[in-house]
Structure 1
Amino acid sequence: MYKNLETLEWNLNNKVEFINIISHELRTPLNIILGAQKLLTLNINEEGNKLENKINFIKYLASIQSNSYRLQRIINNFIDITDFELGMSKLNLSNDDIVKVVKNIVKHASFVANRKGINILLATNVKQKIMAFDKEKIERIILNLLSNAIKFSENNKEIDIILLDKKEKIQLLVIDQGIGIPRDKLSNLFDSFVQVDKSLTRNHEGSGTGLSVVKSFVKLHNGSVSVKSKENAGTSFMIELPSNIVPGSRASYLSDEDINIIQKIQIEFSDICEISYEYNN
C-alpha cells in the first residue's frame, strides 16, 4: 500500500512540475509575440527612415512567426502525448521510401545546424528502402531527435545520422557530440511528465515533451527506441522499425515536398533559433 502511495505521489509531483514547465513555455513566446506586436505598432506610427522601418518590420514579424511555431510545437506535443495515453493515436501507413524521407530532412535541417557551425552527416547502406510507415510521424521523430542534438551541442561539432537496412527491420541512429545525459536520468528519459535536468532545460528552453512523443510514435509503428549517453561525451539514440509492406498500397516514391518539410522544421526547431523569411521563401 505504501509503495502504491509513493508511486501516486511521485506521479502527481511530476505532473505538477510538468504543468509548471508548460505554463512557463507557453508564457514566454506569448510575451515575445505581444512585445513584437507593440514594437510593430510603434514603427507604423513613427515617421523616419523607411528602410530602417522595413528591416524592423521583418525582424519583428520573424519573431512573431518563430514564437507562434513554438507555441504550436508545445500544443502539438501535448495533444499527441495525451492521445497516445488515451489510446486514440492512429497511424496513416503507406509504402514509401524511408531513405528519401531521411535525406530530405537532413538536407533542410542542415540549414539550421550550420548556423551553429554544426555539420549533419548522413550514412546509409542502402539507396532505397520501400516500407510501410506514417510519413508525418516519422518526420516528427527524426526532427525531435535532431532538434535535441543541435540544441545540446556546442558550436563546430558534428551530428551523425546512420540509416541501416537490416532486411526485416531498419535502424536509425542519431549520434551527437553534445553535453550528454547523466546516467541516473536515462531510465526516465522518455516519460511524459519528467525532465532530465530542470536547470539544463531552462538554459536551453524546451518543454521536455519531445522525447515522449518520439517514444509514442515509435511504439505505434511496433518499433523500439533506446539511448546511450555519457556526460560531456555525447548521446546516441537508436530507433528500430519493422520494414513491413502494407498489402494493396502502392509505393509512392515520394517527391520532394520542400515547403511542407520547411514548415515542420520551423515548428520543431522553434526553440533553437528563429528561421528567417529568406529560408521560408
Structure 2
Amino acid sequence: MPPASFRARVFIALVGISSVTSLIIGLVLYSFSQNQLMTTEKTLLTQRSRTANAGAQDFLETLRDPENQSLPPAGDYAEPLVKTVADPTGLGVLYVDTGGEPLAARDGFGNPVDPDADLDKLDLAEGALEEAARSTGGEGRLVWSEGRSGYVAVWPLVGREGTARGVMVYDVPTDEIEETLAYLRYGIVGAILTSVLLAAVASLLLARQLTRPLSETRDAAIRVASGDYAAEVPVKGRDELGELARAFNYMAEEIEHYVGEIQEQKSRLEAVLEASPEAVVATDPAERVTMVNPAAARMLGVRHSDQGRLLDELGTPEGIVRCVREASANGVAVREVEFGEKTFWAYAARMDRRETNGSGKDAGIILAVRDITEHRSLEKAKTAFVADFSHELRTPLTTIQSAVGLLERARERLDPLEHRALELAEGELARIRAMVEELMTLAQMDSWQYQLEVGPANLGEVIRTAMRSVETKAQRFGIEVYFEDDGAEHRCICDVQKLYQVFLNLLDNAIKYSDPGDRVDVTVEDASSWMTVRIRDTGIGIPPEDLEQLFERFYRVNKDRSRATGGSGLGLAISKQIVEMHGGDISVESEVGRGSTFTIQIPTEPLSRSSSYAM
C-alpha cells in the first residue's frame, strides 16, 4: 500500500482535529444544557410542589369536624385530597399515610392510578417516605427517583395542630423536558455533523493551499535534479513558504553556478589528462579501474574499455600494483619500478571524500606513472662518466702529489719564488683533490652505494675535530671561530665520518664567504630526541632569491668568489643528503650583509643503523 501523500495527511489531521473539537464542544454543550434543564426541573418541581402542598394543607383543614375539630380517617379523604391537588396543578400526586401505605394517586393529567404501582415505580431512596412522614417542620425535599430517572418532591402533610397526616409525593411530568432534551441532542448532533462537513471542506481547501507551494517546490527540485537549473518556484508572499521559495530559487542559482564551475574544471582536467605524458589511472577502494588517460594505454596497456576491472588483472607491473596498495594503507606511496627494459616512476595517493560530518571516507586511489627509462639511462651514463672521470683524475693527482712531496723535502734549497710556487701547487692540489672526492661521493650516491655506518658518538667531539681542520684556514683569512661548548657530552647514534664532512663543509663555507674580522659561532642544543647544531657567521650573507636553490647540485651563489676560493657547488647538496640519511633536516636563514645561520637537526637515534641513499 503506497504511503499517503503529505496533502492527504494534512487533510486527515485537520479533519480529525476539527471533528474531535466539534465533538468535545457538542458534548460539553449537551452536558451543560442537560444540567441546566435538570436544574430547571428541580426548581419548577420545588415551586409547584410547595404550592400544591399548601393546597393540600388547606383542603385538609376543610375536612375538620366543626364541633371537635377532628379529621376523618385518611382513607376517607385520600382520593378527594389527591384529586383536589392534581387537577389544578398538573402534577402527578401520590398520598401515603403515616404508616407508609399508599392510599391514592393521580398522574399529571388527573387520571387515577394504582397507588401501589405508582409507589413501586418511584423507587425512592430507602427511608425517604418514613422520614418525611415523621417531619413536622412542613418543609419538603427533593428525592432522586431511579424509576423515573429524575427528582420527585416529598412533602409532609401536617395538620394545624402539628400532627403528621402522611406524605405527599409530587412529580412533574417530564415529557416536555425529555422532548426538549431530544431536540437538543438532535440539534447538537446535527451541528457536529455540519461542522465536521464544513471543517472537511475547509481542511481540503487549506491543505491544498498549504501543500501547493510544497508541490511546486518538489516539482522544481525534480527539474533541478534532472539538470534544468533554470527551474524556479513562484514566490507568493513573505511568510515561511515564501521564504522557502526564495531560498530554493537561490539554491538553484548557486547549484547552477557551482555545477558550471565543476564542469569547467572537469573539462580543463580532462584536457590536461589527455595531453599529459604521464599515465594517470584512478581506482576505487576495491582496486577497480574507474578512469584512465591515453598515456596509460600507451605506457601500461590500461584502456578505457578496462574500466570496472581489477588493476592486477590487466597485466599491470607488480611494483605499480604494490604502490597502489601501499597508498591505500598509508595514504601516499612512491616507487621506482623495473619492468622489462622499462623503468617507471610511480606515485599513488589515496583520495578521501569529505563527509558532511567532517569525517573522511576512502574514495579510491589516483596513480601517476612516468616513464623514466631514458632519464635513468642518462643518469647511469653520467654516473659512470663521473666515476670514470674521478678515477682517471686520481691517478695523475697521485703522481702530482708525489712530485710535490719530493719538492717539499727539498724546500730548504728553494728560493722564495720557488717556495711561493710550491705553496700554490699544494693549495691547488688540495682543492682539486676535494673536488674529486665530492665527485666520487656524488657518483656513489647516484648508484645507491653511499651507505651510513652509524654508531655511538659524541657530537661535540665531531664538531671540535672539524674546527681543528679549518683552524689554519680561519687564521689565514682573519676569521674567528668559536664553539660555545659547556663541556657536556652530546651523545647520539650517527656516522661520525659523514657528519664530520657536513660540519667541515659548513665551517669551510662560513670562512670562505666572510671577510677578515668576521666571526663564526657554533652551538649545540640537546632535546629529548633531537640534536640541534647551529653554525652562524657574520659574513656577506645570501640573497633571498638564491636561498631556494642553495642545496641544489652545482649551484653557486657568488660565482666570482667561488672561482677565487674554489668550489664545485656540490658541498651543500651532499651535506643535505647526509643529514636526511640520518633522518634529520638542514635549513638556512640569511640576510645580505649580516651573515647566515645554518641549522642542522639530527635525531639522537636514527630509525636504521645502516642505510643508503641515491640523489
TM-score, structure 2 as length reference: 0.32
Structure 1 partner of 2:516: 155
Alpha carbons 1:159, 1:177 under 8 Å: kept: yes
Report the Cα offset of residue 57 of structure 1. Answer: 5.5
Counting matched residue pairs gives 218
- Cα distance in 1, alignment partners of residues 276 and 546 from structure 2: 21
Q: 1:92 aligns with which of 427, 436, 453?
A: 453
Bigger shift: 224-233 or 78-87? 78-87
Contact 1:151 1:204 in 2 (8 A): yes
Structure-to-structure mapping, 1:1-150, within 5 angstroms: 53=414, 58-124=419-485, 127-150=488-511
Q: Secondary structure at the match of 2:448?
A: coil
Q: Which piece of structure 1 moves more, 207-216 or 108-117?
A: 108-117
Counterpart for residue 235 of structure 1: 596
SS of equivalent to 1:178: coil
What is aligned with 1:194? Answer: 555
Q: Offset of 1:200 from its aligned partner?
A: 4.0
Are the equivalent residues in 2 in contact too, given 1:152–1:179 (CA < 8 A)? yes
Q: Deviations over 1:98-124 (max 9, x none)?
A: 112212322442232122221101114
Provide the rounded CA distance (Å) in 2 between the counterparts of 1:105 and 1:126. Answer: 17
* Residue identity in the other structure for 1:86: S
Residue type of the alignment partner of 1:184: E
Instruction: Please say if residues 163 and 170 of structure 1, whose CA atoms lie closer than 8 Å, have aligned partners that are also in contact.
Output: yes
Residue number among 525, 530, 537 corresponding to 1:176 in the alignment: 537
SS of equivalent to 1:208: coil
Name the aligned partner's letter for residue 169 of structure 1.
W
Bigger radius of gyration among the two: 2
Equivalent in 553, 560, 566 of residue 205 of structure 1 = 566
Structure 1 spans left out of the alignment, 5+ residues = 5-11, 45-49, 249-281
CA distance in 1, matches of 2:561, 2:276: 30
Q: Offset at 1:208?
A: 1.2
Equivalent residue for 1:218, pick from 558, 576, 579:
579
SS in 2 for 1:71: helix
| C-alpha separation in 1, matches of 2:506 and 2:453 | 21
Does the residue aligned with 1:188 lie in a helix, a strand or coil?
Answer: coil
**CA distance in 1 between partners of 2:276 and 2:522 (Å):** 42
Q: Per-residue deviation at 1:207?
A: 1.4
The AA in structure 2 aligned to 1:154 is D
Q: Would the alpha carbon gap of residues 211 and 3 (structure 1) be closer, same or farther in structure 2, given more than 3 Å must change?
A: farther
1:263 is matched with: none
Structure 1 residue 191: Cα displacement: 0.6
User: C-alpha distance in 2, partners of 1:169/1:154?
Assistant: 33
Decide whether the 8 Å contact of 2:431 with 2:566 is kept in 1. no
Amino acid at match of 1:227: V
* Alpha-carbon separation, structure 1, partners of 2:483 and 2:535: 10
Check the 8 A contact 1:126/1:164 in 2, yes or no.
no
CA contact (8 A) 1:181 1:235 kept: yes
Q: Distance in 1 between matches of 2:561 and 2:497?
A: 29
Structure 2 gaps of 5+ residues are 1-271, 278-377, 610-615
Match of 1:279 in 2: none
Give the 4+ runs in structure 1 shifted more than 6 A: 1-4, 245-248
Work out whether residues 125 and 164 of structure 1, in 8 Å CA contact, stay in contact via their aligned partners in 2. Answer: no
Q: Structure 1 residues 247, 91: CA separation in 2 closer, same or farther (over 3 Å shift)?
A: closer
CA distance in structure 2 between the aligned counterparts of 1:3 and 1:192, rounded to whole angstroms? 28
One-letter code aligned to 1:66:
G
What is the distance in 1 between the residues matched to 2:524 and 2:573? 22
Determine the C-alpha separation between the residues in 1 that align with 2:555 and 2:482. 30
The answer (yes or no) to whether the contact 1:117–1:156 under 8 Å persists in 2 is yes
More displaced stretch, 214-223 vs 196-205: 196-205
Relative distance call for 1:194 and 1:53 in structure 2 (3 A) is: closer
Local SS of the residue matching 1:141: helix
Asked whether the equivalents of residues 454 and 494 of structure 2 are also in contact (C-alpha less than 8 Å), the reply is: yes
The change in CA–CA distance for 1:234 and 1:88 in structure 2 (over 3 A counts) is same
| 1:173–1:63 CA distance, 2 compared to 1 (3 A) | same
Q: Is the CA contact (8 Å cut-off) linking 2:453 and 2:495 kept in structure 1?
A: yes
Matches within 5 A, 1:237-256: 237-244=598-605
Q: Is the 8 A contact 2:587 2:599 kept in 1?
A: yes
Q: CA RMSD in A?
A: 3.7
Letter in 1 for 2:470: A
CA deviations 1:196-234 (Å, max 9, x no partner) are: 243342344321111111111111111110000111110
Give yes or no for contact 1:181–1:230 (8 Å, CA) kept in 2. yes
Question: Post-superposition shift, 1:150?
Answer: 0.5
Distance 2:472 2:487 in 1: 24
Shift of the alpha carbon at 1:170? 0.5
TM-score, reference length from structure 1? 0.66
Q: Deviations over 1:13-72 (max 9, x none)?
A: xx9xxx9xx9xxx9xxx8xx79x97xx7xxx9xxxxx95626566544433332222111
| Equivalent residues of 2:583, 2:606 under 8 A apart | no
1:162 Cα offset (Å): 0.8
